[in-house]
Amino acid sequence: MRSSIATDLPRRLNKFFWYVIISVIILYSFKISRVDVFSFISGFSYSWSLIKEMFPPNFSHFDKIIILTFETISIGFWGTVIGIIISFPLGLLSSRNLFQGLPYIISRGIINFLRAVPDIMFAMLFVIAFGLGPIPGILALSLSTVGLLGKFYSEAIESVDRKPVEALESTGSRKTGIIRYAIIPQVFPLFMGYNFYLLDHNIRVAMVLGLVGAGGLGLELYNEMRSFNYQRVSALLIIVCIVITLIDRISTKMSKDIIEGEFLSGKNKVINLFLISIIGLISVISLFFIPVDFQEIISGVPRIFEFITGLFPPNLSGIDRYLYLVIETVSMGITGTVIAIFLSIPLGVLSARNILHSRIVNSLSREIINFLRAMPELIFALIFVSAVGLGPFAGVLAIALHTVGFLGKFYAEAIENIDKKPVEAIESTGARFIQKVRYAVLPQIIPLFNSYNLYLLDRNIRASTVMGVVGAGGIGFELIMSMKVLDYQRTLTIILLILITIVIVDYISHYLRKRVV
Amino acid sequence: MIVFKNVLKRYGGIKVLDGINLNIQTGEAVAIIGPSGSGKTTLIRTINGFVVPDSGVVSVNGDVVDYSNKKFLRNLRKKIGMIYQLFNLVERASALENVLSGCLGRHDNGMGLLFSTIGFFSKEEKELAMELLRFVGLEHKAFERVDRLSGGEKQRVAIARALMQKPDILLADEPIANLDPKTSKKIIELLLRINEEKKITLICVLHHLETVENNFKRIIALNRGKIIYDGFTSSLNRAELLAIYEESELCEAA
């Protein structure tokens, strides 16, 4: 008997070992990102004084804000449109069940590369080439859209039903016929869903790209922030929040309609077509306001090649400093995720409808979560940099808040989807409420939570690589500086470091996620 | 001893239990049969308070069940083990962890509550859990996650969990409905062995006539919330047994 219990010991030791390692990593991350109790206390008081300076919001330049809002929407819209046009052929070419060999490898490579590079890096590059304004924003968004959409498209095509394809093959049809009549009808609704998702995503990103000069509200926000016009900043932020919430609502409704296959049925038809045409109309009208200087664009193209050739060879001097910054970046991601986990648990529990039966509390916490998810973290970072100063702490706070938007939602869904049967079984042993939670609810949701946390950790380490763009710590600051002073050889070193970090983190998180569920 | 007096339960306008009067002696093994919707599950769930009757009295071991008293219900449930059609285990936890959760009722206050909530169980309890797993023939799978076990193995874990309560009464709600015939036979044999060796009252809701005929001494047949037969299996002839089901099917057809 004793021997059989003893087999439990190695498992426990192993578990204990991992807990120790994880705790040490987390503690070091807090230390490196300079996050402690005092930074929180002082952060609160600084934030409070910033908020006081922001009131009352100054809407005196309202007309300008509206024009910039339209410009932002149109940057998102045209970036998406161009992205869709490029993604479609690339998506087809990178589908393994349609093409093999060189076309497949090349298109897959392009898509993977575009997805790995943060969108804001493209924006910086195009701002260098074409100057400030919306054009770099549109181009950067097109490229990042291809990275996401190309992958979505090819995954959809690779999972189509084979039977109609074979039926057409047996009629002796050419590949174009097969694609047109057997593949596209199957994937069309999915593609539309992805397109709307990307439109929503891109309008939000368009707000952020302005922070590096790529037009829209972001650019204005950055300028007002740097000239300490906090009352104007708050006016801009209010507009940003309203636009983001609206877009989030619209896209949630549309994607729900598309998933249910009700997009163009009944009264949805009128509403959805109206909404799309509004966004399209804004985007078309804004085109007339966008200063397109073809001279500038043509002269900008050689600058891109100049940049690319200027990258080589990478300048490896000072790499020890960059390595430290990489560690700081990873630490920021870890710290932000850990803080977010602690904030998300209460919010997730409050918004789970099967735990707390209060509609007001449920929907209130849901609204908070949705808002945090919709707001781009670089905008949070920009605000926190003004509040708590330059450095990783601002980045950590921004990442944490945005992450709550994801984790809170995931947690609530995990709690709502638990299997109730074991809960009753534990209740039937005469256990108390807390014991039910501990032995029937937690064992069901903790593996899911771990998986979500790892996924977000992976995502947040990527996100923290660009926090430096607004001065919120990490290696991003060196990246943007090296580009601003035209030291492209250093830029390449930093880009390579970022890409290597992302690949390693991606690999580790993928491995761990497979183990926890 | 379990006593039902005039127990009545309605769902909507339908009488699910319609004036049930019943005595079950300590140590008995009783099968409750009847067509779907005849009130079998509702009947046994009134015993441990998961269903509250609209009127009538249920008493267990001399105490009238007080359905509004949470503490009374907890104390009652500690002595009543329950196993289910779909096993109701935590799929992601190990077999041993599931079995250990059966003794939570004994740690419902003070330090015991604290320690069990953190996740500590005493050595005796762990050894008892292992012994019970051995009793149901699953000692070698103690550390296996439940979602890797077969249906029959899951039900054995669930039985071990119920035994971990050291119950006086074992309620089984269609325990073999999701198992193949061979496994079903083994599970019924196991339940009857528990009844015999450990002197635990067994009340088993079943659907399969064959299993009932061969194994249980007493059967109670329900139809439309009423007891239509209560007695020894041996004195029940096959035609009567079939009538219990056929009558309802005829009614449904009409």
**Does A9 touch chain B if contact means CB atoms closer than 8 Å?**
no
Closest residue to A421, CB basis, from B88, B130, B143 = B88
- Which candidate in A429, A445, A515, A516 is best for mutational testing of the B interface (most B CBs within 10 A)? A429
Residues 154-213 in B contacting A (C-alpha not used; CB under 8 Å): 158, 161-162, 164-165
pLDDT digits (tens, 9 = 90+) for A334-344: 999 999 999 99
Asked if residue A399 lies in contact with residue A332, where contact means CB atoms within 8 angstroms, the answer is yes
Asked if residue A474 lies in contact with residue A464, where contact means CB atoms within 8 angstroms, the answer is yes
Instruction: Please indicate whether, in this complex, the C-beta atoms of B101 and A419 are within 8 angstroms of each other.
Output: no
Per-position DSSP letters for A66-113, written without gaps between them: HHHHHHHHHHHHHHHHHHHHHHHHHHHHT-TTT--HHHHHHHHHHHHH
Percent of all residues in chain A with a pLDDT value above 90, rounded to a whole number: 32
Instruction: Please indicate whether, in this complex, the C-beta atoms of A5 and B126 are within 8 angstroms of each other.
Output: yes
Closest residue to B130, CB basis, from A4, A424, A447 = A4
Q: Quote the domain boundaries for residue B142.
A: 92-166
The sign one gets for the Cα dihedral A272, A285, A204, A244 is negative
Question: How far is A65 from chain B, CA to nearest CA, in Å?
Answer: 53
The predicted pLDDT at position B248 comes to 54
User: Which range, A8-12, A241-245, A486-490, B166-170, has the best average confidence (pLDDT)?
Assistant: B166-170
Question: How far is B17 from chain A, CA to nearest CA, in Å?
Answer: 21
Percent of all residues in chain A with a pLDDT value above 70, rounded to a whole number: 98
SS (H, E, C) A116-144: HCCHHHHHHHHHHHHCCCHHHHHHHHHHH
- Which candidate in A3, A427, A428, A438 is best for mutational testing of the B interface (most B CBs within 10 A)? A428
Instruction: Please indicate whether, in this complex, the C-beta atoms of A430 and B91 are within 8 angstroms of each other.
Output: no
In the DSSP assignment, the letter for residue B35 is S
Q: Contacts by A178-182 with C-beta closer than 8 Å and gap 24+? A: A179/A92, A179/A98
User: Which residue, among B5, B38, B44, has the nearest Cα to B229 in the 3D structure?
Assistant: B38
Instruction: Please indicate whether, in this complex, the C-beta atoms of A435 and B108 are within 8 angstroms of each other.
Output: yes
Question: How far is B46 from chain A, CA to nearest CA, in Å?
Answer: 12
Question: How far is A224 from chain B, CA to nearest CA, in Å?
Answer: 52
Residues of B in contact with A429 (CB under 8 A): 77-78, 81, 101-105, 161-162, 164-165
Backbone phi and psi for residue B229, each to the nearest 5 degrees, phi listed first: -155, 135
Provide the CB-side half-sphere exposure for A296 (13 A, CA).
14
Please give the CATH topology (third level) of the domain spanning A319-516. Answer: MetI-like fold (1.10.3720)
Question: Does the pLDDT at position B252 exceed 50?
Answer: no
Instruction: Please indicate whether, in this complex, the C-beta atoms of B117 and A430 are within 8 angstroms of each other.
Output: no
Instruction: Name the residue in chain A with its Cα closest to that of B128.
Output: A1
Q: A339 has which bridge partners?
A: none
Report, as an integer, the average pLDDT of A30-50. Answer: 87
Instruction: Please indicate whether, in this complex, the C-beta atoms of B161 and A434 are within 8 angstroms of each other.
Output: no
Report, as an integer, the average pLDDT of B238-254. Answer: 59
Instruction: Please indicate whether, in this complex, the C-beta atoms of A430 and B74 are within 8 angstroms of each other.
Output: yes
Question: How far is B88 from chain A, CA to nearest CA, in Å?
Answer: 4
Fill in the amino acid letter for A497.
L
Closest residue to A1, CB basis, from B48, B102, B127 = B127
Instruction: Name the residue in chain B with its Cα closest to that of A422.
Output: B88
What is the pLDDT of chain A when averaged over all its residues? 88
Tally Cβ neighbours within 10 Å of residue B34: 27
Residues of B in contact with A15 (CB under 8 A): none
Instruction: Please indicate whether, in this complex, the C-beta atoms of A438 and B117 are within 8 angstroms of each other.
Output: yes
3-class secondary structure, A157: helix
Q: Which residues contact A324 (CB under 8 A, 6 or more apart)?
A: none
The predicted pLDDT at position B86 comes to 92
**Helix, strand and coil in chain A, % to nearest 5:** 85, 0, 15
3-class secondary structure, A161: coil
SS (H, E, C) A349-396: HHHCCCCCCCHHHHHHHHHHHHHHHHCCHHHHHHHHHHHHCCCHHHHH
The structural domain count of chain B equals 1
Instruction: Please indicate whether, in this complex, the C-beta atoms of A11 and B74 are within 8 angstroms of each other.
Output: no
Strand order in the sheet with B169-173: B80-83, B169-173, B201-205, B29-33, B218-223, B226-232
The predicted pLDDT at position A400 comes to 96
Residues of A in contact with B161 (CB under 8 A): 425, 429
Distances (CA, A) of A232 to A57, A73, A239, A270, A383: 6, 20, 11, 37, 13
In a domain, B210, yes or no: no
**Does A37 touch chain B if contact means CB atoms closer than 8 Å?**
no
The predicted pLDDT at position A513 comes to 81
Q: Which residues contact B224 (CB under 8 A, 6 or more apart)?
A: B15, B18, B38, B39, B248
**Cis status, amide bond into A313, omega within 30 of 0:** yes
Instruction: Name the residue in chain A with its Cα closest to that of B107.
Output: A431
Please report, for chain A, the start and end positions of each structural domain, with discontinuous segments joined by +: 62-308, 319-516
Instruction: Please indicate whether, in this complex, the C-beta atoms of B113 and A435 are within 8 angstroms of each other.
Output: yes
- Which candidate in B41, B72, B90, B114 is best for mutational testing of the A interface (most A CBs within 10 A)? B90
The sign one gets for the Cα dihedral B223, B226, B228, B232 is positive
Backbone phi and psi for residue A179, each to the nearest 5 degrees, phi listed first: -60, -45
Residues of B in contact with A435 (CB under 8 A): 104, 107-108, 113, 116-117
Q: Do domains A62-308 and A319-516 have the same CATH topology?
A: yes
Question: How far is A435 from chain B, CA to nearest CA, in Å?
Answer: 6
SS (H, E, C) B134-154: HHCCCHHHCCCEHHHCCHHHH
The predicted pLDDT at position A318 comes to 83
pLDDT digits (tens, 9 = 90+) for A167-215: 888 888 888 888 888 888 889 888 988 998 899 899 999 989 988 888 8
Question: How far is A414 from chain B, CA to nearest CA, in Å?
Answer: 14
Question: How far is A184 from chain B, CA to nearest CA, in Å?
Answer: 39
Joined tokens for residue A167: 């039926």
What is the number of CB-based contacts under 8 A between chain A and chain B? 100
pLDDT band at B250 (very low <50, low <70, confident <90, very high): very low
What is the pLDDT of chain B when averaged over all its residues? 88
Q: Which residues contact A439 (CB under 8 A, 6 or more apart)?
A: A426, A431, B90, B97, B101, B104
Pairing of β B169-173 and β B201-205: parallel
pLDDT digits (tens, 9 = 90+) for A408-432: 999 999 999 999 899 999 999 988 8
Class of domain A62-308: mainly alpha
Buried b (16+ CB within 10 A) or exposed e, A485-503: eebbebbbbbbebbeebbe
Question: Does the pLDDT at position A101 exceed 80?
Answer: yes
Q: At what angle do helices A377-388 and A230-259 cross, to 10 degrees?
A: 160
CA dist A269 and A261 (Å) reads: 11
**Does A435 touch chain B if contact means CB atoms closer than 8 Å?**
yes
CA dist A501 and A494 (Å) reads: 10
Residues 67-126 in B contacting A (C-alpha not used; CB under 8 Å): 73-82, 84, 86-93, 96-97, 101-105, 107-108, 113, 116-117, 119, 123, 126
Asked if residue B136 lies in contact with residue B155, where contact means CB atoms within 8 angstroms, the answer is no
Report, as an integer, the average pLDDT of B39-60. Answer: 93
Question: How far is A431 from chain B, CA to nearest CA, in Å?
Answer: 4
ipTM of the modeled complex: 0.86
In a domain, B5, yes or no: no
Joined tokens for residue A432: 């108390």
pLDDT digits (tens, 9 = 90+) for B179-229: 898 899 899 999 999 999 999 999 999 887 777 767 888 889 888 889 988
Closest residue to B88, CB basis, from A2, A425, A432 = A425
Question: How far is A426 from chain B, CA to nearest CA, in Å?
Answer: 7
pLDDT band at A295 (very low <50, low <70, confident <90, very high): confident
Q: How far is CA B151 from the centre of its chain?
A: 17
The predicted pLDDT at position B254 comes to 39
The predicted pLDDT at position B3 comes to 95
SS (H, E, C) A385-451: HHHHCCCHHHHHHHHHHHHHHHHHHHHHHHHHCCCCHHHHHHHCCCCCHHHHHHHHHHHHHHHHHHH
pLDDT band at B30 (very low <50, low <70, confident <90, very high): very high
Asked if residue B83 lies in contact with residue B171, where contact means CB atoms within 8 angstroms, the answer is yes
